[in-house]
Structure 1
Amino acid sequence: MLLYTVQFLCSLLRALHKAMASLLCSPTLSVPAASPLSLRRGNVSKVHPIQCFDQEQLLMVPTALSMDVFGACNVGNDIKVEQQQVEKTKKKAAWAAKRRPSMLVIPVSAPPEAGQAVVAGWGVAAAVAEKEAEAEVEGEGFWVASRRGARHGMEDSYGVITHKDGADSQLAFYGVYDGHGGRAAVDLVSDRLGKNVVSAVLAATEATHDAVTAAIRAAYVATDSEFLRQGVRGGSCAATALVKGGDLYVANLGDCRAVMSLDGAATALTSDHTAARDDERARIENSGGYVSCGSNGVWRVQDCLAVSRAFGDAGLKQWVISDPEIRRQPLTPGCEFLVLASDGLWNKVSNQEAVDAVARSRRSSSYCCKELVDLARGRGSRDDITVMVVDLERFLR
């Protein structure tokens, strides 16, 4: 009887083992291996798909199963949180990209080659001025200061030729240029005008005042022709001074201005070319054009340009001419210095104020030009400002 009882209990135990093993070894029940994220965070121990257990492993199944199931849940939660963080970062980057302005690229002119005789304003100081928005230059008998305006990129420039050429050691050329409609226009004028003027004057068959004046005029027209042939957009104003044989020849287009100190008194050697001038307005209207005055009181040619003479401006060339006005001034005792500047200065500083400011600084450095730039900017000038001061007394010694 005892034997039958033992056999029955053994068979019952084997049946229970088979039933439990069948349940735990179902082909649909498996748990994925733990991801690296869960292992890194220490949420679960190393997990493998569940296989059929033998009798010795049977008692460990409930504990391992619970750990693997909860570990798998933690893995899913970690992945989901990380994906949400990635999506949030992408959205922030896309939103910032929409609000961020595009990078502003400003071209910088190449510096002059070694030994070059011509001092082209934006050749000498181009890199400094474009990078720092202002420049100061001290040369032989001249000083320059410039500052970029607040509304656009720098469109002012200058040019100087002071080297000896042949037997005429008194030959010197100075110019200040104010471009509009882009940087290319003023770059071309500052590079070509001085060379053309000096070449034309030296090539003149006569040394009379009329011959020099005619050569300067021809050089201005030739520079404008080069400008138009190259198809450069925009235009440029100019005020230049040529010293030759004890005389000062001043020429201008537009609203750049030349003012001389004569015994401390300001003497304007140029007259601004604007549509507000009666003679300029009459010339334009007689040639079939028109001028208009806007609500801000500025007169414009064809409702467009505020100056009536300039280099370039191909679309307005019928009315905006490149024929300069030229004035000869004998250099006599009392001719102290010359101020050449763009309209960024003259719109805020009078002729006499400019002369007085330079006289106070004793013309010993570029500080005299910088003081004028600061004065105009302090009075609200938002335009580009370029000021050049030329020592005229050095030509009288």
Structure 2
Amino acid sequence: MYVAHLTLHDFRSYAGVDVALEPGVTAFVGRNGQGKTNLVEAVDYLSRLASHRVAGDAALVRAGAEQAVVRAAVVRDGRTAVLEVEVNPGRSNRARVNKSPLPRARELVGLVRTVLFSPEDLALVKGDPSDRRRFLDDLLVLRAPRIAGVRADYDRVLRQRNSLLKTAGAARRGSSSREGALATLEVWDDHLARTGGELLAQRLALVDALAPYVGKAYETVARGATREDAEIVYRPSFDLPGELMAEADAEELRRALLAEVERRRGDELDRGVSLVGPHRDELVLTLGGGPDSPRLPVKGYASHGESWSFALALRLASYDLLRADGDDPILILDDVFAELDGERRDQLAALVADAEQVLVTAAVPEDVPAVLAGSRFRVGGGEVVREP
């Protein structure tokens, strides 16, 4: 899979730009603030309908414009499809495939697969649990695009239920509408357990599949490490029997979630917020575990180099897992080499050099390792110019 042509209209800093691309390595080189990251961000946005840099869509639209358009000709198994998304902040985005509108923009997700490395990846290790949950969910959607709908349904149910908890909590403290509020809340409990059980089952299965790849990748990028050193474990918001964690049966998890919601009813009404469900789960990252090296959480204990190695291992593991599914995702290395020491830089470059397509951004040509020599574009002054 690779992008053969990228067109942007009013996306970030570009009023309009067209870039013809090829398989193999392509590097976009230019000083910071010239728009090189905007190009690869657009490709990644087509994959996930989300940016790796900002939470909302408003910043993606050029100042003064009402909407942005990202269009790409994507080649997969010798066939070309033109994917397009209109980014409409405050309104529904619209998507097309070969000029035919899709019923929902999210149906575009997964048609092109990307794995993106960036300086922000340190948040996977040092950031909040929400960063790691997002990492899992984004990978889930790339492997099974229908999960985008499950994820959206769960978020909608969660918002509605939290609103009802506030209402029911006030009713509990003396309002006359107590019975009606609690009866409505029970309906949303069922919705939360159903969508949450499916999302939880998918995450558990994903972590089980991803874990061996993480250990292997960490061994490759960390000096002197073994694949047993790095471990990822999924920790739900409440205790689950070991057999249920292993089987990841959505219906059993639904029942377990519902029982826990009922058990925590008083606490949730007091606090006016949902305390149980996948939105409060954690992906635990640990290092060590040898006879003389107790296993410790990466966050708070790992060195800067170890943290970078673990972040790289998570991305490399994602790439390897997607590749094992039978598809070669597009690799995006966004200004990442400037953040790495020489050894990790060379190791990462060697590991990804054989990908079908690699898109690299760098401030100076020297930041691009020699093994990733390929096509090169100079980015500056609003122009993207291919070098001879």
Larger Rg: 1
TM-score calculated relative to the size of structure 1 = 0.26
TM-score calculated relative to the size of structure 2 = 0.27
Greater helix fraction, Structure 1 or Structure 2: 2
